[in-house]
Amino acid sequence: MYSMFDKVELIIHHGGNFKCVPESMYVGGQVDVLSIDPDLICYPHLMKCLKTGSYGNIKALYYKKPSQCMKSLRELFDDKSTLDLIRLATSCGKCDIFVEHGLDEVELVELLPAPEAFEPNISVEQQPDMPDKEMEVDTDVNVEGQVPNEAAGMEVPERGEASLHNDGQVEDDDSHDETDEVEERGGEYDGTTNKEGEDTDYSWKPEEADTDDSWMEDASETDDSEHEETENEELFDNEVASDHTATQMGGTRAEESENEEVSTEYDSSNPNSYMTEEEDDDGTSKRASKRYGSFNPESEVPKFEVGMYFEDGKQFKKAVIKYVVFEKRDLYFKKNEPGRVRVKCGKKCPFSLTGSWVERLQCFQVKVFKEGHNCNLRYRLRIVCTKWVADMYSDKVAENPSIGAVELKRLIKAEYKLNVSESMASRALKCIEEKNETAFKEQFKKIRNYAEECLQSIPNSTIIISTVRVVPDAPSVFQRIYVCFGPVKKGFLEGCRKVIGVDGCFLKGQMKGEILSAVGRDANNQMYPIAWAVVEIENTYSWTWFLDLLYKDLDVTAPDEWTFISDQQKGLANALSRVFPNAEHRNCARHIHANWSKTHRGMNLKKLFWLCAKSTCERQLEANLAELDKVNVQAGKDLRKYPFKLWCKAFFRDEVKCDTVENNLLEAFNSTLLKCRSKPLIPMLEDIRVATMKRIAKKRKYVLKWPGPFGPVIMKKLNANIVASEGWNVDFNGDDGYEIKKGRAQFKVSLQKKSCSCRRWDLCGIPCAHVICAIYDKGEEAESYVDWCYSKEVYKKTYSYTLHPINGELLWPRTQFEEILPPLPKKMSGRPKKK
């Protein structure tokens, strides 16, 4: 700063008191003269000199020209007022500084009446460009230490010479400290751009300052508007400070600003709530201040107001973008600095929003807000960027990884009525993919912890993780995982028949491979999940590994008593013959029909196929095949190529009481897998576990609503057979033999042996129409001849074991095993995807 004096004298009056009778004066004390170079004066250095000297407890500082009266006193409280002090001192070579002292200790004397407070007033000279104000000084108030610049200003300093230094901006001491501390926090900020259609990132990065003004400022706008807004922001800060001092000193403001600064203290119970009073250590109230609201991130539409608090600049910028998306206004970040953000609209639009970091409150605050627009709505917004699209649609893309850029663009337009470029949508998809890739790798590092949590929370469970090493000393790479929970295992063994459906389901996400699953049938002929596994590929080796673990979990002693139903999976037949020798293996008739019908279509052929599949005896099958040959000889020849023992009821064993020719229960379980097979490994396993847990809980309530001893599915089938029994004639032999006749059809029934020559009752355990005729002839009820495996008691046993809940990731145990790497990329079989 240019000065005609090499040094100036600061005449420091201290140790005295202000008096206002008969006129304002400083009474008593001492006077020190400090000669100093004006270019070296700054507020922190001056306060340090005064505090290290013998000036006692400094409550406030005031200054004026020696030639001015006491009414011209101005408060010295920050760098801005210090600049004004230097301006006065350099104009005449000296300047008076008056020290107002606070009380070192307040002593309360009991049983004595308190004297009336004496409140002398001091008229303070008003700065230019501001309305006159009158302040009162309460000498009984004790404020220890330095008064912060944003909360203790006595009046608004003038916006004259002092405000024009540093390119029209004057930053107070807090702002300098703020920048240093913000840089130490080590955050990041990704830049923005003003060009329409290009990216704007709102990540908060305080350690980086903006160096490229091309994406901060619009070249077409002049510095006048920026300086005007800077003055407005400074005006807000100083009006706040003036209001705070007036309240602290016991006076009132003649003209109160609409927005006031908050107290510098936090409510102990809520960090976002600020106290309206400051108290001494003994609880004495010293001052009151207006309470400003904090931003609610859950609000649908952000509403800004001067003084509003945000956690940090990142939250502030997210709120701005949310506002832009809702209001369809083409805002942009004119200033985007580590501790200061300014938002503008079009060239002629009055809208303006400025916020900055408040160091003493450790939060981000709105300083200037000019509401209102005179611009038109826009549907292509500069501030909407790739990162915003990626954040908003990451979950939807995770649920549907096959979504493309064009489809994402249409989705954004449908939901937000915004036009984004196809290239931005493509970049957003790439960003989501990279983010998911990172999350994908993290899943395998946590898989052992997840397994340990499940084993601790759900007793008697089996979770096997298989890993491989590319070379002997290489890290472990994930290969497979097998899951069978203890309660599910017990429920199956106590309440289900020895019939298991097995199937495989492709994974659709980043995790390539298949889910192998085993599903049983409960007493109501409904699905009951037993075990599942994620494997790298479906082949004989992976099926053998899965079935061997299932064999051990079910404690199988007689493999030939079990029945397995499956599709025509690769390698499954070989694996079953190895692990479950002599077990019955059935193929799903629906898949056989799908293959056979590729060359033999038609409703009539389809009807004849299902008559063959559901034939319960060999003679009935032969009759149905003869009908098929009459319609299409080649179709009959091709059908005979599929072994009948795999898909025709006539060759099924009747010990397991299951006559199904379809694997539809596995398809029902796969419908659950379809919803989660695109997710990473642990979320996918969690979805299956939670779905199983909910199903068990649901079935426990479901059984309480049964009106009879059997489930609704069983009773529906029994009632259908009762209706079908009408019109049949019964001949009884007097012992246990019944002949059931209708036209040329005739069957024999033995109620004691629970057998009918049609084999329907033998296969499923539910009386067929012929058996029901014999039962009614005997005068008994059909329900009494339904097999016990369908009873309510057995159903309750199945679902008597519940899955216990588990903890979230934060509380998972930390295992000591080495981390597992994700599986190596492997090209899946089939036609590759189109790019």
Domain spans in the chain, listed from the N-terminal domain onward: 8-147, 184-370, 386-438, 439-587+663-707+808-827, 589-661, 710-790
Higher pLDDT, 203 or 525: 525
* DSSP-assigned states of every residue in 295-333: P-TT-SS----TT-EESSHHHHHHHHHHHHHHHT---EE
pLDDT at residue number 177: 40
| pLDDT tens, position by position, 51-110 | 776 677 788 889 888 888 887 888 888 888 888 888 888 888 889 998 888 765 544 444
pLDDT at residue number 41: 80
* DSSP-assigned states of every residue in 243-273: HHHHHHTT---SS--SS-PPPS-EETTEEEE
Q: For the residues 803-814, what does the mean pLDDT come to?
A: 94
Higher pLDDT, 416 or 438: 416
pLDDT at residue number 291: 67
Tally of CA atoms within 13 A in the half-sphere of 548 that contains its CB: 10
The rounded radius of gyration (Å) of the Cα atoms in the chain is: 43
Note the pTM of the prediction, 2 decimals.
0.63
pLDDT at residue number 298: 86
460: its two tokens: 């008697």
pLDDT at residue number 438: 78
pLDDT at residue number 542: 95
Is omega for the bond preceding 22 within 30 degrees of 0, making it cis? Answer: yes
pLDDT at residue number 43: 82
3-state SS class at 431: helix
C-alpha 825/C-alpha 827 separation (Å) is: 7
| pLDDT tens, position by position, 302-346 | 889 999 999 999 999 999 999 999 999 889 999 998 889 999 998
> Is there a contact between 27 and 16 (Cβ–Cβ < 8 Å)?
yes
Q: For the residues 520-533, what does the mean pLDDT come to?
A: 96
Q: What percent of the chain has pLDDT over 90?
A: 48
CA distances from 205 to 320, 336, 364 (A): 17, 10, 14
| pLDDT tens, position by position, 443-501 | 899 999 999 999 999 999 999 999 999 888 889 999 999 999 999 999 999 999 999 99
Report angle CA 194, 196, 197 to the nearest 5 degrees.
Answer: 120
Classify 168 in phi/psi space as left (phi over 0), alpha (psi -120 to 50) or beta.
left
* Per-residue pLDDT band at 703 (split at 50, 70, 90): very high
> Is there a contact between 84 and 258 (Cβ–Cβ < 8 Å)?
no
> Is there a contact between 466 and 545 (Cβ–Cβ < 8 Å)?
yes
Question: In 10 A of CB 467, how many CB atoms?
Answer: 19
| pLDDT tens, position by position, 270-296 | 444 444 344 444 444 444 445 678 999
332: its two tokens: 């942009």
CA distances from 86 to 3, 5, 17, 519, 730 (A): 10, 11, 25, 87, 122
DSSP code, position 822 = P
pLDDT at residue number 214: 33
Give yes or no for residue 218 having a pLDDT over 50.
no
| pLDDT tens, position by position, 642-691 | 999 999 999 999 999 999 999 888 878 888 888 888 888 999 999 999 99
pLDDT at residue number 608: 96
Give yes or no for residue 147 having a pLDDT over 70.
no
User: Helix 43-52 to helix 79-92 angle, to the nearest 10 degrees?
Assistant: 80
- In 445-484, the DSSP E strands lie at 462-468, 477-484
* Burial (Cβ within 10 Å: 0-12, 13-18, ≥19) of residue 377: exposed
Report angle CA 755, 759, 765 to the nearest 5 degrees.
Answer: 65
Select the CATH number that applies to the domain covering 8-147 from these four: 3.40.50.300, 2.120.10.30, 3.30.70.270, 3.10.20.90.
3.10.20.90
pLDDT at residue number 119: 43
**Mean pLDDT, the chain, integer:** 79
> Is there a contact between 381 and 324 (Cβ–Cβ < 8 Å)?
yes
| pLDDT tens, position by position, 604-625 | 999 999 999 999 999 999 999 9
> Is there a contact between 549 and 517 (Cβ–Cβ < 8 Å)?
no
* Burial (Cβ within 10 Å: 0-12, 13-18, ≥19) of residue 830: exposed
Tally of CA atoms within 13 A in the half-sphere of 275 that contains its CB: 12
* Burial (Cβ within 10 Å: 0-12, 13-18, ≥19) of residue 258: exposed
Q: What percent of the chain has pLDDT over 70?
A: 75
| pLDDT tens, position by position, 336-345 | 988 899 999 9
556: its two tokens: 């199988």
Residue 751: name the closest of 771, 733, 729, 777 by CA.
771
Residue 249: name the closest of 146, 119, 136 by CA.
136
Give yes or no for residue 197 having a pLDDT over 70.
no
Give yes or no for residue 256 having a pLDDT over 60.
no
* Per-residue pLDDT band at 261 (split at 50, 70, 90): very low
Q: Quick one: which H or E segment has residue 674?
A: helix 664-674
pLDDT at residue number 558: 92
Give yes or no for residue 729 having a pLDDT over 80.
yes
Give yes or no for residue 833 having a pLDDT over 80.
no
* Per-residue pLDDT band at 436 (split at 50, 70, 90): confident
CATH number at 439-587+663-707+808-827: 3.30.420
C-alpha 483/C-alpha 790 separation (Å) is: 28
pLDDT at residue number 37: 81
| pLDDT tens, position by position, 737-771 | 999 999 999 999 999 999 999 999 999 999 999 99
C-alpha 777/C-alpha 670 separation (Å) is: 45
50: its two tokens: 């005064």
C-alpha 59/C-alpha 755 separation (Å) is: 106
